[in-house]
Structure 1
Amino acid sequence: MKKAVSIFMMLILVIGALAACGPKEEETNTPATGNTEEEAAKPEKLVVWEDKDKSGWLEKVAADFEAEHGIKIEFKEVEMATKMRDQLRLDGPAGTGPDIVTLPHDQIGQVAVEGLIAELNVSDETKALFSESSILAQSYDGKLYGLPKSAETPVFIYNKALMTEVPATMEELYDFAKENTKDGKYGFLALWDNFYFAHAPIGGNGGYVFAENDGALNPQDLGLNNEGAVKGTEYIQKWYSEGLFPNGIIGESGGSAMDGLFNEGKVASVMNGPWAFGAMADAGIDYGVAPFPKFADGTPMKTFMGVKGWHVSQFSKNQEWATKFLEFITNDENAKYRFEQTKEVPTNVALVEDPAIAEDEGAKAVALQTQDAVPMPNIPEMSEVWKPMADALQTVVTGKAEPKAALDSAVEQIKQNIEANHSK
């Protein structure tokens, strides 16, 4: 059956190729595919760049792939967030770069525009292994450029000594905070003057950054001052104006101040991410982790999600086999193994209920929250959003402006920045 399907798909590809013949189709960024009937000649090796201090799991998986296909996997560590992209820009054109890289998804738009990574052509069956939102995060302009490796998003973290169970709704959390904020102690804290965290109530109430249509984001359609965004910002304003959040968690030092209060046992619950778990444990806090309570009408808190992915270099001479390796390392079995070795939470939908994740409270909370999360926009225009929104939120939470006026000003600034820096 699989062979018959493959033959059929090959015929479709041949027909498509014949129909596409002509000078106008001379594109350099052709899709890398891992499911063609006639396999490309096997290379002796594939070169993989993994993030710093994260490559240990590849020893087993690379050996398994080599045993199955006879292709050696050579891997090295390159710091992902800042160095991977820059190194690919240099080594790729020089012919000394990797076949496969890993990147945070908010860099995909820029590297795709630069022609550094190849569009992927994988089956719908492969895509269905992952949450829809994580596949969207790996796409740019409606085209798939990677397969998800892991995801992270803010979750609800609570001190079990101060909160015995997670509130059922955000309204119940607000009531809890009202009752338990006194004498230098707080019921709930969040860095809602920071747009990364503030997107949860803003998006949950109907705001959005850029409109999305069939996987493509429209930077001309901003939803950051619509009715929902204003409502979400008014919700944020309420927590500050009623003294439920201290002045000390506003601004650049807010994160360390909030962490300090929680780790001193002065805060019952916080909005934070998996990156905070280690310090909480070191502080001796018996903490619990859960996805965020929804609003009373069932609307979720739409946290921002970051997705790390695997990508095929546009400069690779082995794109078909590189794609096959991507499919291999992201299948359920190998994604689970990587989680066990790195504790980075995969987006494979079948693994949410797997004991490896289901019995890890923090990992399960992240996995569940990602189902309601929104991928941070990965188009270059997103760089123009952060500062105007931070400025707007800070004027609101410090009582210097009302939500509607602050958001209108931010959106106007964002539009001007996009026009100045991204117009073609």
Structure 2
Amino acid sequence: MKHSSFMKVAGVGALALTLAACSGGGTPAPSSSGESAAPQGGDLVIWMDENRATALEGVIATFEEETGTAVDLVVKDFGTIRDDLTTQAPSGEGPDVVVGAHDWIGKLVQNGVIAPVELGELAGDFEDVSIEAMTYEGSVYGVPVSIENIALVRNTALAPDAPASWDELVSTGQAAVESGDAEFPLLVGIDPNNADPYHLYPMQASFGGPVFGMNDDGSYNPDDLQLGNEGNVEFAGALAQWGADGIINLNISQDIAKEQFASGASPYTITGPWNLSTFQDAGVEYAVSEIPSAGGLPATPFVGVQGFMVSQYANNPIVAAQFLTDYIAGETAQTAIFESGQRAPALSSAFEAAQSNEDVAAYGEVGAAGVPMPNIPEMDALWADWGTTEAQIIAGDGDPAELWTSMADKIQGTLED
């Protein structure tokens, strides 16, 4: 990640912002230039989750007062936003602005429901990984606000030192269970039927098991599925052993993992910063560090970036762009979102200020070695079979290599159809 000094955020006119959006009727929207400021006023419909809606109350109030814009803020469950936007935007029932995850972008672009934004010099004010994640086929789709990834969190009373290897993690965890100090050697929250490829991916990556190959420009190549390579098959064998040994447990959901770690039932959990407040409230003394390698290569997690995007069907696209560039891209908004959710800010100035928080600094160090979650639409073809196969392997429902290879072949066939 970069930690460079940055230019102050200017007004939307000075940014020479060009928004490749359409108004509700499908007419290309006008663009602003350095010679004139964006229009103000009118109505703006914004969809976001409750956490960010609460965090941005003051920012939205300031935006309304300074621009004369009436904001209709619709609070939605984060997990429903992508599908709701896809179904409602073309009919004119959707928003002007949404908050979303960067890995939605490929599918949203494919469905024609979000518009690219030319950020110009403003892009240089953000952490490199956040702009990279929000970029699809050469265009940036919105303003990033948060960077998140998982890491190893350990109960320092049970595991004073960070494990130097996966074997050390396992042995320390098993020793804590055998001594009666813990109930579980490790807590990784997964689904009994669909496992959790996201939380298991760092271990998979450590075996040399990527999902897709990469293009020369660093983007993912959807024509180069790597899920069935030798390293991934080797990971499948290790996963089966962890299931047999109780290291990875299908009966441990995300909520159970969080609650059990908070109660002191394990020296280790693999999770993101969104659960730290629960551990703090429970009085657990913890530390955050990198996930040790299980396969010999770095255990690199997926990095997720969340940001605000403009609908292709926005009724007020220029004011929507102004809200993103003059307000969401500002340090006040980025810091408020960080303080509310404990995810590292995407804006470099806010990111650097947040480094005084030990947890943010630790997660940021782990994330700096990670890779952005693929944002290509082809990822939609992977998740279901990938997770189901992992669950079968953990449960011991067949030969791990055969299960994994069959899964990879099936996904390859789906991508070729």
Identity, % of aligned positions: 29
1:131 and 2:133 correspond: no
Q: Please give the TM-score of this superposition, normalised by the length of structure 2.
A: 0.79
Q: Distance in 1 between matches of 2:333 and 2:290?
A: 29
Change (3 A) 1:199 1:60: same
Please state whether the residue corresponding to 1:76 is helix, strand or coil.
strand
Kept in 1, the 8 Å contact 2:155–2:287? The answer is no
**1:202-258 CA-partner distances (Å, limit 9, x unpaired):** 1233222222323643333111121332344444445345x2526xx225x544554
Change (3 A) 1:265 1:89: closer
1:109 and 2:110 correspond: no
Aligned equivalent of 1:325 = 323
Deviation of 1:66 after TM superposition, in Å, equals 5.2
Aligned equivalent of 2:3 = none
Amino acid at match of 2:205: G
Kept in 1, the 8 Å contact 2:41–2:68? The answer is yes
Kept in 2, the 8 Å contact 1:48–1:76? The answer is yes
Deviation of 1:144 after TM superposition, in Å, equals 1.6
Please state whether the residue corresponding to 2:78 is helix, strand or coil.
helix
**1:33-82 CA-partner distances (Å, limit 9, x unpaired):** 676444444344433322224323333323444566x3425141331434
| Alignment partner of 1:98 out of 95, 101, 104 | 95
Deviation of 1:168 after TM superposition, in Å, equals 4.2
Change (3 A) 1:320 1:410: same
Aligned equivalent of 1:208 = 210
Amino acid at match of 1:330: A
Q: Distance in 2 between matches of 1:31 and 1:200?
A: 42
Deviation of 1:199 after TM superposition, in Å, equals 0.8
Aligned equivalent of 1:415 = 412
1:121 and 2:139 correspond: no
Aligned equivalent of 1:311 = 309
| Alignment partner of 1:367 out of 357, 364, 368 | 364
Change (3 A) 1:127 1:227: farther
Q: Please give the TM-score of this superposition, normalised by the length of structure 1.
A: 0.78
1:189 and 2:187 correspond: yes
Please state whether the residue corresponding to 1:128 is helix, strand or coil.
helix
Q: Distance in 2 between matches of 1:216 and 1:109?
A: 12
Please state whether the residue corresponding to 2:187 is helix, strand or coil.
coil
Change (3 A) 1:82 1:353: closer
Aligned equivalent of 2:273 = 274
- CA-based RMSD: 3.7
Kept in 1, the 8 Å contact 2:14–2:34? The answer is no
Change (3 A) 1:371 1:209: same
Deviation of 1:271 after TM superposition, in Å, equals 0.8
Change (3 A) 1:333 1:138: same
Please state whether the residue corresponding to 1:74 is helix, strand or coil.
strand
Q: Distance in 1 between matches of 2:242 and 2:330?
A: 43
Q: Distance in 1 between matches of 2:254 and 2:48?
A: 29
| Larger RCO (CA under 8 A, 6+ residues apart) | 2
Deviation of 1:413 after TM superposition, in Å, equals 1.3
Amino acid at match of 2:325: E
Kept in 2, the 8 Å contact 1:159–1:285? The answer is no
Amino acid at match of 2:213: A
**Structure 2: 5+ residue runs without aligned partners?**
1-6, 19-25
Change (3 A) 1:185 1:122: same
Q: Distance in 2 between matches of 1:323 and 1:7?
A: 11
Change (3 A) 1:171 1:261: same
Deviation of 1:267 after TM superposition, in Å, equals 0.8
Q: Distance in 1 between matches of 2:37 and 2:159?
A: 57
